[in-house]
Amino acid sequence: MRTGVRLGVDVGDVRIGVAVCDAAGLVATPVETVPADSGSVARLATLAAERAILEMVVGLPRSLSGAEGPAARKIRAYAERLAREVHPLPVRLVDERLTTRSAERTLAALGRRGAKRRAVIDQAAAVEILQSALDAERLSGTPPGEELDVRMT
């Protein structure tokens, strides 16, 4: 298991949830929710620089069959813009199937309802994405998902 802080990102149409892990790569925790607007890439780059992270982990929404549809293509394009912004920092795409649903169940179990839940659901989904990536790396011994190859020209 590689050591180092990682930033987990759940990209949505309106909001982007952000999570971070400890330097040992054991536990993911929420950081903030970023508006999904023209300044979001710059904000994520700032968060990465402030925490001197090892890499960014971005959730890629696949269908239950594993295929990539329009939503995945949109997130892949966003992640590529992000990777160009933070280059040479690695950006990895990891499967995020069912993470938002899992985050919703967790928040509901904690009694978060309505507006209170909407305010943190994106962060909770980012925690789920990052924690599953950390757990997968710990089990397999290899970095999870797909590292984006952004050639700087």
CA 148 to chain centre: 14
Q: What is the pLDDT of residue 133?
A: 96
pLDDT at residue 136 above 60?
yes
SS (H, E, C) the chain: CCCCCEEEEEECCCEEEEEEECCCCCCEEEEEEEECCCCHHHHHHHHHHHHCCCEEEEEECCCCCCCCCHHHHHHHHHHHHHHHHHCCCCEEEEECCCHHHHHHHHHHHCCCCHHHHHHHHHHHHHHHHHHHHHHHHHHHCCCCCEECCCCCC
Per-residue pLDDT band at 150 (split at 50, 70, 90): confident
pLDDT at residue 37 above 70?
yes
pLDDT at residue 46 above 60?
yes
Where do the structural domains in the chain lie, given as residue ranges? 6-139
Fold classification of 6-139 is Nucleotidyltransferase; domain 5 (3.30.420)
Q: List, for residues 112-129, the tens digit of each pLDDT value.
A: 666 665 668 889 999 999
Q: Does the pTM of the predicted model rise above 0.85?
A: yes
